[in-house]
Amino acid sequence: MRVHVIGLGGAGGRIVDRLVADHGDEPFLQGCNAFDTDADALGSLRALEESRRYRFGDAAGGDGLDGDLHAGRRLGDAHASELGREMDDENPSLAEAFLLVVGLGGGAGAGVAPALAEELSRLYEPPVYALGVLPTPAETESDSEPSGRGAGRGTEASDGQPALSHRPLAEKNAARTLDALSDRCAALFPFDNAAWVRPGETLIDARDRLNGVFADRVAALFGAGEAADAESTPQQVLDASDIARAVGGDGEIAAIGYATQAVEPPKAESRFGFGLFGSDEPASVDASAAVSAIETTIRKAARGKGTVEVPDGRADRTLLVVGGPPAWLNREAIADGRRWLAEETGSGAILSGDAPVPDGDEVFAIVLRSGIEEPARVREIRASIE
């Protein structure tokens, strides 16, 4: 599935930069851009080419908005068309979906996201999805209230970015942005930072790791149907329409579960039995080992930590992708996994696909669930404006 990914604001830009660093040569990335009002934040990006970064909103003076969502909305309304034009060099008309990546608790990214989603929906037919980072409770908790411009900025983090140690409006911004995006996007993919920060770890310390977690899940899901060569062509092809059916089109919340298991690359035997002359025979692995690896990864992807909590594991719609070295993709095991997943999620039908990775050294599974009951963290955020 060819996607055009747009990072909005500081958090969105960093995640897209990590996506490009780790997966920039993969065919699913049709285009990438980063838009922000903060020149320093854009300048700190490393993997994304400078031509794909763009600072908008001269009224902000080249700085961030320090969580001022209202200012962000005004800039979004004023500059959405301009940002749409800035994407033209990336051939957005070839994309099969647009992914807006944004920190939901901020000002610039969260402010512009609804207007840009509306602009992209006006210009193009493919769906617009929002991948939003939820603020942690700790970001809104402080013994003292900040004051003045620059309030809420902490000390510098290790990467030179200002550390937002206290953002009193983060939850309210996130609640309002979730509402606005649900009206303008086909689906929302929240990422709950609080669930992923380890005990004793600060959000700033965890940020690079969490960006990698998010980027890997985005790549595994949206890259599953894009084959780089004949060897990588799936037997059961997953395309853009499958993902669209799975996530729906009414701004519902979707969750991504992901798991991997290391496996030994299969080795083909020589027809002479010595392994010296190569062989046209397909490589094979022990069937029981393949079944075990696939069962393990599917269950971990379904029951392990996802991008956001899935209450009781239930969902209206579920999509399963299993990938890895072709010899490990046991068809019977995948079919059994689908049946188990249908019972686990209560979904009436399970869409599925495979993703062969000829030179891979692990089996992986993606479980996408949509039409889920509202996660507790999302309820808490929405309650901040009730």
Interval 251-298: pLDDT, tens: 999 999 999 999 987 766 555 554 444 555 556 789 999 999 999 999
196 and 138 Cβ atoms separated by less than 8 Å: no
- Average per-residue pLDDT for the chain: 88
Tell me what pLDDT residue 384 has.
94
Tell me what pLDDT residue 234 has.
59
Tell me what pLDDT residue 158 has.
39
Residue 45's contacts (CB-CB under 8 Å, 6 or more residues apart) are 13, 14, 17, 34, 53
Whole-angstrom Cα distance, residue 294 to residue 354? 12
Tell me what pLDDT residue 142 has.
55
Tell me what pLDDT residue 280 has.
52
Domain with CATH 3.40.50.1440 in the chain: 3-223
Q: In terms of pLDDT, which residue wins out, 96 or 279?
A: 96
- Average pLDDT of the segment spanning 95-111: 96
Q: In terms of pLDDT, which residue wins out, 41 or 238?
A: 41
Tell me what pLDDT residue 233 has.
63
Q: In terms of pLDDT, which residue wins out, 64 or 136?
A: 136
Q: Strand runs (DSSP E) across 195-301, as ranges?
A: 252-262
CATH fold of 3-223: Rossmann fold (3.40.50)
Tell me what pLDDT residue 236 has.
72
- Sign of the alpha-carbon dihedral angle for 12, 16, 17, 18: positive
Torsion angle of alpha carbons 69, 129, 55, 145, nearest 10°? 30
Tell me what pLDDT residue 284 has.
78
Radius of gyration (C-alpha) of the chain in whole angstroms: 22
Q: Strand runs (DSSP E) across 28-72, as ranges?
A: 29-36, 53-55
- Domain 255-370, CATH: 3.30.1330.20
Tell me what pLDDT residue 45 has.
97
Tell me what pLDDT residue 299 has.
97
Tell me what pLDDT residue 283 has.
64
Which pair of tokens denotes residue 14?
Answer: 């960093």
In terms of Cα–Cα distance, which of 117, 234, 133 is closest to 185? 117
Among 37-51, 118-132, 148-162, 250-264, the range scoring the smallest mean pLDDT is 148-162
Whole-angstrom Cα distance, residue 8 to residue 132? 10
Which pair of tokens denotes residue 250?
Answer: 């009414």
- Average pLDDT of the segment spanning 29-35: 97
pLDDT at 379 over 70: yes
What phi and psi values does residue 326 have, to the nearest 5 degrees? Answer: -50, -40
Q: In terms of pLDDT, which residue wins out, 17 or 57?
A: 17
- Average pLDDT of the segment spanning 120-139: 95
Tell me what pLDDT residue 232 has.
59
Q: In terms of pLDDT, which residue wins out, 187 or 203?
A: 187
Tell me what pLDDT residue 222 has.
93
102 and 188 Cβ atoms separated by less than 8 Å: no
pLDDT digits (tens, 9 = 90+) for 229-256: 556 565 777 889 999 999 999 999 999 9
The HSE-up count of residue 68 (CA atoms within 13 Å, CB side) is 17
Torsion angle of alpha carbons 278, 281, 283, 288, nearest 10°? -140
293 and 358 Cβ atoms separated by less than 8 Å: no
pTM score, two decimals?
0.89
Q: Identity (one letter) of the amino acid at 179?
A: D
Q: In terms of pLDDT, which residue wins out, 154 or 234?
A: 234
- Average pLDDT of the segment spanning 139-162: 45
Domain with CATH 3.30.1330.20 in the chain: 255-370
Tell me what pLDDT residue 188 has.
98
Which pair of tokens denotes residue 151?
Answer: 């309030």
Which pair of tokens denotes residue 9?
Answer: 């604001």
pLDDT at 140 over 90: no
pLDDT digits (tens, 9 = 90+) for 312-371: 999 999 999 999 999 999 999 999 999 999 999 999 878 998 999 888 999 999 999 999
In which band, very low, low, confident or very high, does the pLDDT at 160 lie, cut at 50, 70 and 90?
A: very low
Tell me what pLDDT residue 235 has.
73
Interior angle at CA 58, CA 156 and CA 173, nearest 5: 60
